[in-house]
C-alpha cells in the first residue's frame, strides 16, 4: 500500500447519495467554547439544511483529562444556543451508546481485526524508552516520533515480552513511503508524505482507544457522511484514511473549518490571563448575550452568507447554508461587532420575549424580580442596552432600599443647593397629591410645576432624576417614577432635600 486516496470529489460539490449524518464530537475536558460551538453550529446548519441527522458523540476516552461538569456544560450550552441533537446522550438513537467510554468492547473487537489483517501491531516499549528515542531523534534533527522498533518483532520476541507481563499498546502500521492525499470540501486537495508520519497508537495499555481509533470506528459505525471540524484536525486525516482502507470502509467527506482568531487577527482566539476576553459560551450567557445573536454571529465566522445583510434569522441561515460556501481563511472574532449585533437583537425582539429573557437573567444574578416588573421596565431600556448585563446598570436603583446621590451633582443647571432643595420640596408636594401615580399625569404635573417655579424643564427634572435613581443618566424619567412607585419616590425626594440642607450647613460652618 503506497498511496491511499479518499475518493476524489470535485471541490464545491460534495456529492453523496448517502443520507446526511453529521456529528459533533466534543471531549468533555473543558467548557463549551467558541470554537467548538461554531463547529457544532455549522454541523447543525448543514444537517437542518439537508434534513439529515445530527449526532452528539462524547469522546471521553482520555480518562485523565476528563473535567467534572464539562459534559453538562457542553449539553446545556448547545441547548441554550438552540442546537438540539437527534441522537446522542439524553436523545438515544439506533447507533449508541454515544459515549465512547461505553463502547470499549467495540474497539477491542476492531483492534483484533486490524491485528489479524496486519495493519496493527503490538508495541511493548516502555515510556522511558519512548522518551529516550524522542530525545535522540531530536538531537539528530529528525522529526520526533516512534522509531517502529516493535513493528517487525518475531513471534519469539513477542512471546518474551508477554512473559515479562508487559501489557502492550497497539499501533497502526503506516505505509513507509509515498504520499496520501484527500479532497477537503473547503480547501481542495491536501497531501502528506508518509515519510513524515508515524505509527500512531490506536489502543492504549489501559484498554481505552486513542482519539484516532475510536473516532474512525465510530464515524463508520454511526454512518457519518460528512466530517466538519476545526482545521487543527487536518493532520489526523492521513492515519484515519489508512484505517478506513485497512478496514475496507468508505471514508466520509471531509470539511475542515477555518480557525477563529483573536480580534486583532493575530493568533488563535484564546483566553489570555487577565484579558477578560470571553471564550466560553457560559461566559457570554452570564454577560447577557442573547442566544439568537450569538447564533447569528457564530454563523458568520467563516461562512460567506449569500444574503447581503449581517443580521439573519435561524430559518434564513438553514435555508442558505452550504459547506461549499465556507471559506478556508481564518476569521477574527470581533467582540465589538458581536455587541452591536446583540444590541440589534435586543431592540428587535418583541418586548414580552425580551422581558422573559431579562427575568431569567436577573433571577440568575440573584435579583428577586417578578415578571410584571420586567414587562414594565423593558420599554424603558430596550433601546438603550446592548446586553442584558448592561440592563443592570440602568435599573439597579429599582432594587435598592435607598440610593446615594452625590450632593454635588444634585443641583440643577445654574441652581444652588437651597434652590434645588426647594425645587425638590415642590416636586414632593405635587407628586404627593397625584392619584393615580401614572407617567402621563406625572409628566403634566411636573411640567406645570416647573413653569410655576420659573424653571426650565431640564433644570427641574435633573435633580428629581438624581434624587430618585442616584444617577445622572437614567431611563426616561416619568416611566421610571411610575415604576419606582409613589411612596419610594417621595422618600427619595425627601432624603435628597435633607442631603442638600446638610451640605449647605457644612459649607456655612467652614
Residues annotated catalytic, as ranges: 271
Nearer to ligand GLU, 96 or 230 (CB): 230
Q: How far is the CB of 211 from ligand GLU (least distance, A)?
A: 6
Separation CA 410–CA 403 (nearest Å): 13
3-state secondary structure of 23: strand
Separation CA 234–CA 16 (nearest Å): 21
Q: How far is the CB of 31 from ligand GLU (least distance, A)?
A: 13
Nearer to ligand GLU, 226 or 229 (CB): 229
Nearer to ligand GLU, 35 or 291 (CB): 35
In this structure, what is the dihedral angle of CA atoms 335, 337, 340, 344, given to the nearest 10 degrees? -120
Q: How far is the CB of 327 from ligand GLU (least distance, A)?
A: 20
E strand or H helix that includes residue 54: strand 53-56
Separation CA 248–CA 241 (nearest Å): 10
Name the pairing type of β-strands 53-56 and 21-24. Answer: parallel
Nearer to ligand GLU, 222 or 427 (CB): 222
**Assigned C-alpha cell, 320:** 442558505
Q: How far is the CB of 86 from ligand GLU (least distance, A)?
A: 17
Nearer to ligand GLU, 89 or 371 (CB): 89
Separation CA 220–CA 279 (nearest Å): 32
Query: Binding residues for ligand GLU, per CB under 6 A?
Result: 25-27, 59, 211, 215, 229, 233
Angle, to 10 degrees, between the axis of helix 477-484 and the axis of helix 439-453?
Answer: 120
Of 59, 56, 71, nearest in space to 23 by CA: 56
Q: How far is the CB of 26 from ligand GLU (least distance, A)?
A: 5
3-state secondary structure of 483: helix
Q: How far is the CB of 121 from ligand GLU (least distance, A)?
A: 24
Distances (CA, A) of 72 to 32, 79, 103, 455: 10, 11, 20, 60
Three-state SS string over 451-468 comes to HHHCCCHHHHHHHHHHHH
Q: How far is the CB of 27 from ligand GLU (least distance, A)?
A: 4
List, in sequence order, the alpha helices (H) in 266-350: 281-287, 291-299, 314-320, 335-348
How close are the terminal C-alpha atoms of the chain, in Å? 97
User: What is the rounded radius of gyration, in angstroms, for the C-alpha atoms of the chain?
Assistant: 32
Nearer to ligand GLU, 27 or 382 (CB): 27
Q: φ and ψ at 485, to 5 degrees?
A: 100, 145
Q: How far is the CB of 219 from ligand GLU (least distance, A)?
A: 8
Nearer to ligand GLU, 26 or 52 (CB): 26
Task: State how far Cα 240 lies from the chain centre.
Answer: 28
In the numeric block, the cell 439529515 is attached to 52
Nearer to ligand GLU, 259 or 421 (CB): 259
Nearer to ligand GLU, 59 or 183 (CB): 59
Nearer to ligand GLU, 61 or 374 (CB): 61
Q: How far is the CB of 65 from ligand GLU (least distance, A)?
A: 10
Burial 234-266 (b: 16+ CB within 10 A, else e): beebbbbbbbbbbbeeebbbbbbbbbbbbeeee
90: region left, alpha or beta (phi > 0 left; psi from -120 to 50 alpha):
left
Is 401:495 a contact under the CB 8 Å cutoff? no
Q: How far is the CB of 78 from ligand GLU (least distance, A)?
A: 14
Q: φ and ψ at 260, to 5 degrees?
A: -105, 125
Is 154:124 a contact under the CB 8 Å cutoff? no
Is the peptide bond between 97 and the residue preceding it cis, with omega within 30 degrees of 0? Answer: yes
Amino acid at each position: 500500500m503506497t498511496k491511499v486516496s479518499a475518493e476524489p470529489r470535485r471541490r464545491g460539490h460534495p456529492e453523496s447519495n448517502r443520507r446526511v449524518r453529521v456529528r459533533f464530537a466534543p471531549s468533555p475536558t473543558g467548557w463549551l467554547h467558541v470554537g467548538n460551538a461554531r463547529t457544532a453550529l455549522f454541523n447543525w446548519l448543514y444537517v437542518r439544511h439537508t434534513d439529515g441527522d445530527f449526532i452528539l458523540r462524547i469522546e471521553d476516552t482520555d480518562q485523565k483529562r476528563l473535567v467534572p461538569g464539562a459534559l453538562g456544560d457542553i449539553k446545556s450550552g448547545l441547548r441554550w444556543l438552540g442546537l438540539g441533537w437527534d441522537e446522542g446522550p439524553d436523545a438515544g438513537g439506533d447507533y449508541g451508546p454515544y459515549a465512547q467510554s461505553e463502547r470499549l468492547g467495540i474497539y477491542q473487537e476492531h483492534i483484533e481485526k486490524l491485528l489479524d489483517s496486519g495493519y496493527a501491531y503490538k508495541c511493548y516499549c516502555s515510556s522511558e524508552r519512548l522518551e529516550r528515542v524522542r530525545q535522540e531523534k531530536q538531537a539528530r534533527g529528525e522529526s520526533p516520533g516512534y522509531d517502529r522498533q516493535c513493528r517487525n518483532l518475531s513471534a519469539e520476541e513477542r512471546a518474551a515480552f508477554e512473559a515479562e507481563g508487559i501489557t502492550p499498546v497497539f499501533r497502526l502500521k503506516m505505509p513507509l513511503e509515498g504520499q496520501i492525499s484527500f479532497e477537503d470540501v473547503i480547501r481542495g486537495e491536501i497531501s502528506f508524505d508518509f515519510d513524515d508520519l508515524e505509527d500512531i497508537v490506536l489502543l492504549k495499555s489501559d484498554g481505552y482507544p486513542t482519539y484516532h481509533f475510536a473516532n474512525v470506528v465510530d464515524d463508520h459505525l454511526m454512518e457519518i457522511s460528512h466530517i466538519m471540524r476545526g482545521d487543527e484536525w487536518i493532520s489526523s486525516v492521513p492515519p484515519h484514511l489508512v484505517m478506513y482502507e485497512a478496514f475496507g470502509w468508505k471514508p466520509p467527506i471531509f470539511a475542515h473549518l477555518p480557525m477563529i482568531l483573536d480580534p486583532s487577527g493575530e493568533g488563535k482566539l484564546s483566553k489570555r490571563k487577565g484579558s477578560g476576553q470571553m471564550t466560553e459560551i457560559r461566559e457570554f450567557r452570564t454577560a447577557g448575550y442573547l442566544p439568537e445573536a450569538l447564533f447569528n454571529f457564530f454563523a458568520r465566522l467563516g461562512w460567506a452568507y449569500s444574503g447581503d445583510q449581517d443580521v439573519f434569522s435561524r430559518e434564513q441561515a438553514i435555508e442558505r447554508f452550504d459547506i461549499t460556501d465556507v471559506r478556508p481563511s481564518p476569521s477574527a472574532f470581533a467582540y465589538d461587532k458581536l455587541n452591536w449585533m446583540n444590541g440589534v437583537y435586543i431592540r428587535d425582539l418583541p418586548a414580552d420575549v425580551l422581558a422573559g429573557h431579562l427575568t431569567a437573567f436577573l433571577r440568575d444574578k440573584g435579583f428577586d424580580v417578578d415578571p410584571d416588573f420586567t414587562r414594565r421596565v423593558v420599554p424603558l431600556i430596550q433601546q438603550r442596552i446592548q446586553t442584558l448585563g448592561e440592563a443592570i446598570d440602568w435599573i439597579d436603583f429599582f432594587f435598592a432600599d435607598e440610593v446615594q446621590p452625590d450632593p454635588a451633582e444634585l443641583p440643577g443647571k445654574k441652581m444652588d443647593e437651597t434652590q434645588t432643595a426647594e425645587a425638590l420640596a415642590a416636586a414632593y408636594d405635587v407628586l404627593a397629591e397625584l392619584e393615580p401615580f401614572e407617567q402621563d399625569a406625572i409628566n403634566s404635573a411636573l411640567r406645570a410645576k416647573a413653569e410655576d417655579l420659573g424653571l426650565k424643564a431640564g433644570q427641574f427634572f435633573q435633580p428629581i432624576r438624581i434624587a430618585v435613581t442616584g444617577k445622572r443618566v437614567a431611563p426616561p424619567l416619568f416611566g421610571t417614577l411610575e415604576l419606582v412607585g409613589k411612596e419610594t419616590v417621595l422618600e427619595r425626594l425627601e432624603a435628597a432635600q435633607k442631603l442638600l440642607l446638610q451640605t449647605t450647613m457644612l459649607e456655612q460652618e467652614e
